[in-house]
């Protein structure tokens, strides 16, 4: 299925409007959030040069052949000056370029109040609303912005490569916590098997005695891999706690050669299996609700704090208050109370706010 009668130019204009909060973007978002379609979001992350773009290209083509309408979002958290890298991505997208149902878009703007992840969060429903069924998001596996973007995905695919060495892999421990499916790319290199076994062992340590709903085989558990498994809570949040939940997903580890496409069919299957499971256990639904809550919280925080930090001419209320604290006139706690008390009164930020919103909705106010 090709996207709804929304031509590429209209879609690009909508995304730019949302990305940069241009006039009209709220109308676009209202429609998109209310009618987000049935898209599944797949995040692809991993170290620089692992072959993520090549793999995304192969995966997009594989999904397109199966009749999916695929959107690719290349997100660059590192800097807005990355024209070179993104141009490189375009050049490597030569397989997917053959399919009219594949749409490519890069994103490096910081014009959005929620930063890169805020912009990505808004663009996902816009793509879903345009009837894309698979949205692939590529980021470079480095830093908090990357993790935030990956949090928006229904399924996170971590791409690793042979030969990075135990040290480097360990320093990328963050990546070992966020994957739903692991791919060891560059399987044509001799060291690929070793890397695959290492990741598998690391996961086996975590899932000891638990086969997982998908029954992936487990290996031994050498102590050296334990350090890869810090941040147990983050892992549990994604996969369910193996010790308490009756239904657990044990992330599979697969070998690929992105340049030839070898292993990509199995990777598509594993991803689809995860998505099926996450849907059937309502994880996708719960996570999406949580995303919107988090986004609202970010926007509320930014809006409510703004009057305190902005200064028209002289001191901001925050600077003024800091000076009063330094002069011994109030404790920080007392100062915060004083600052917020009138705002709370005015905004009626108390019980009853939902009733107020509902009554306004009833009269067409919201």
Q: Round to whole Å and give the CA distance between 135 and 240.
A: 24
CB nearer ligand GTP, residue 91 or residue 305? 91
CB nearer Mg ion, residue 51 or residue 118? 51
Sort strands 155-160 and 40-45 into parallel, antiparallel or unpaired.
parallel
CB nearer ligand GTP, residue 24 or residue 49? 49
Inter-helix orientation angle 264-280/283-309, to 10°: 80
CB nearer Mg ion, residue 141 or residue 240? 141
CB nearer Mg ion, residue 101 or residue 139? 139
Provide the mask over 72-91, with x wherever binding to Mg ion is found by CB under 5 A and - wherever it is not: -----------------x--
Listed in order, strand segments (DSSP E) in 19-142 are 40-45, 70-75, 102-107, 134-138
The CB-of-122 to Mg ion minimum distance in angstroms stands at 23
Of 42, 44, 48, nearest to 172 (Cα)? Answer: 48
53 contributes a contact to Mg ion by CB under 5 A: yes
Of 178, 177, 179, nearest to 230 (Cα)? Answer: 177
Question: By the 8 A CB rule, do 85 and 56 touch?
Answer: no
The CB-of-60 to Mg ion minimum distance in angstroms stands at 13
Residues that bind ligand GTP (CB under 6 A): 48-54, 85, 92, 140, 185-186, 188, 257-259
The CB-of-51 to ligand GTP minimum distance in angstroms stands at 3
The CB-of-183 to Mg ion minimum distance in angstroms stands at 14
108 contributes a contact to Mg ion by CB under 5 A: no
The CB-of-254 to ligand GTP minimum distance in angstroms stands at 12
The site partner of 245 among ligand GTP, Mg ion, none (C-beta below 5 to 8 Å per kind) is none
Q: Is 348 exposed, middle or buried (0-12, 13-18, 19+ CB in 10 A)?
A: exposed
Q: Round to whole Å and give the CA distance between 293 and 280.
A: 22
Of 106, 121, 36, nearest to 298 (Cα)? Answer: 121
Residue 282 makes CB contacts below 8 A (sequence gap 6+) with none
CB nearer ligand GTP, residue 87 or residue 299? 87
The CB-of-56 to Mg ion minimum distance in angstroms stands at 8
**By the criterion CB under 5 A, which residues form the site for Mg ion?**
52-53, 89
């Amino acid at each position: 299925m090709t996207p709804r009668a929304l031509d590429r130019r209209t879609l690009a204009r909508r995304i730019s409007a949302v990305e940069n909060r241009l006039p009209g973007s709220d109308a676009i978002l209202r429609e998109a959030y209310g009618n987000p379609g049935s898209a599944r979001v797949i995040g692809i992350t991993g170290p620089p040069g692992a072959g993520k773009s090549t793999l995304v290209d192969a995966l997009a083509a594989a999904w397109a052949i199966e009749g999916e309408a695929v959107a690719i979002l290349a997100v660059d958290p590192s800097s807005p000056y990355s024209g070179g890298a993104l141009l490189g991505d375009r050049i490597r997208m030569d397989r997917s370029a053959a399919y009219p149902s594949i749409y490519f878009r890069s994103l490096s703007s910081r014009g959005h109040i929620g930063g890169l992840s805020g912009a990505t969060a808004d663009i996902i429903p816009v793509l879903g609303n345009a009837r894309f069924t698979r949205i692939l998001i590529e980021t470079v596996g480095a830093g908090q912005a990357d993790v935030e973007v990956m949090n928006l995905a229904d399924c996170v695919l971590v791409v690793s490569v042979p030969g990075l060495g135990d040290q480097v892999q360990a320093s990328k421990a963050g990546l070992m916590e966020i994957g739903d499916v692991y791919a060891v790319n560059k399987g044509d290199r001799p060291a690929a098997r070793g890397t695959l076994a290492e990741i598998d062992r690391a996961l086996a340590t975590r899932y000891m005695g638990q086969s997982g709903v998908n029954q992936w085989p487990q290996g031994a558990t050498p102590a050296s891999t334990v350090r890869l498994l810090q941040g147990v809570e983050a892992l549990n949040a994604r996969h369910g706690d193996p010790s308490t939940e009756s239904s657990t997903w044990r992330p599979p580890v697969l070998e690929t050669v992105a340049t030839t496409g070898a292993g990509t069919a199995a990777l598509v299957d594993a991803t689809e299996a995860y998505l099926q499971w996450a849907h059937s256990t309502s994880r996708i639904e719960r996570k999406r609700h949580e995303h919107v809550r988090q986004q609202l919280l970010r926007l509320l925080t930014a809006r409510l704090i703004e009057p305190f930090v902005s200064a028209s001419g002289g001191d901001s209320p925050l600077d003024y208050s800091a000076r009063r604290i330094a002069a011994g006139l109030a404790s920080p706690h007392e100062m915060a109370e004083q600052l917020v008390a009138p705002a709370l009164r005015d905004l009626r930020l108390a019980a009853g706010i939902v009733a107020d919103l509902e009554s306004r909705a009833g009269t067409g106010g919201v």
